[in-house]
Amino acid sequence: MLYVLGRGSANVVAYNLGKPWTLNSGVLKNEFNLRKEVGKRGQGTVPHGLFFRKDDGAKMYVWNRTEIFEYDLMTPWDVSTAVPSGYFAFASPVKRGHDIDIKPDGTVLYIDDRGAGKVFQYNLETPWSVESAVYDHELDLTKLHRAMRGIQFSDTGERMFILDTSLKCIFEFRLSEAWMVRSATLAKTLLIDDHFKNPRGMTWRPDGKAFYVTETADSSIHTYVVP
């Protein structure tokens, strides 16, 4: 399955992939309209971050600048069966978040914030429940980034990837303490400027053999293979 979050359309669209990890094999399956919840509270309708619980496909999370919406999927991985199950509004220090990631055991939430120039780490005292979020610590990237709009960790938590849509690059960080952003140090930078005008999102295959970047200029998704 491929899932795409539409910011302007305020929906999550699902595609069946006839061939695993092959984007051009995608066929539209269904969609979920976010407007009933997103945009009705503290922020306008500006959804940007999307996350699914990977172990069972039973939960979906949508980030909306400074707030997060949690949904239960009555049928795993089927967005058309989404039912609201949680909400949390992040006051200071979060200013203008764009993407999220969650530790595989559901105990930690990560937020990239281009407004603050930081990655925030929150503990989820009840696993997978955003309403139990408690601030833990942060990583200051103000001297490195211009506009981070994508975050994802490796399965082991020893690597963190940040998409910078202004510099048109992906930063790779190594974490000396797994899953703790305060231990991150920059390891590599991959430029993607030759292929993009306006990149906006990034996701990695679980095996680390490929990653995907969305382009808003022509509503496309680009595949990168890692040797």
What are the tens digits of pLDDT across the range 99-154? 999 999 999 999 999 999 999 999 999 999 999 999 999 999 999 999 999 999 99
Structure tokens at 63: 């980030």
Q: The whole model's pTM is what?
A: 0.96
DSSP state of 208: S
pLDDT value at residue 117: 96
Do 179 and 108 form a contact (C-beta atoms < 8 A)? Answer: yes
Q: Comparing C-alpha atoms, which of 120, 197, 172, 112 is closest to residue 147?
A: 112
Cα Dmax for the chain? 45
pLDDT value at residue 92: 85
**Count of alpha carbons within 13 Å of 118, Cβ hemisphere only?**
13
CATH of domain 95-227: 2.130.10.10
pLDDT value at residue 44: 82
Cα separation of 222 and 217, whole Å?
Answer: 12
pLDDT value at residue 41: 83
pLDDT value at residue 143: 93
CB atoms near residue 4 (< 10 Å): 17
pLDDT value at residue 11: 96
Which contacts qualify for 134-141: CB closer than 8 Å, 24 or more apart?
135/93, 136/108, 137/180, 137/181, 137/182, 138/93, 138/181, 138/182, 139/181, 139/182, 139/184, 141/117
Structure tokens at 150: 């994508």
Cα separation of 62 and 7, whole Å?
Answer: 11
pLDDT value at residue 197: 84
End-to-end CA distance of the chain: 24
Per-10-residue mean pLDDT for the chain, 227 residues long? Answer: 94 97 96 93 86 97 96 98 97 92 98 96 98 98 94 97 95 98 97 86 94 92 91
pLDDT value at residue 101: 98
Q: Which residues contact 133 (CB under 8 A, 6 or more apart)?
A: 68, 88, 90, 109, 122, 123, 124, 125
* Residue extents of the structural domains in the chain: 1-89, 95-227
* Cα torsion angle, 138, 143, 147, 151, sign: negative
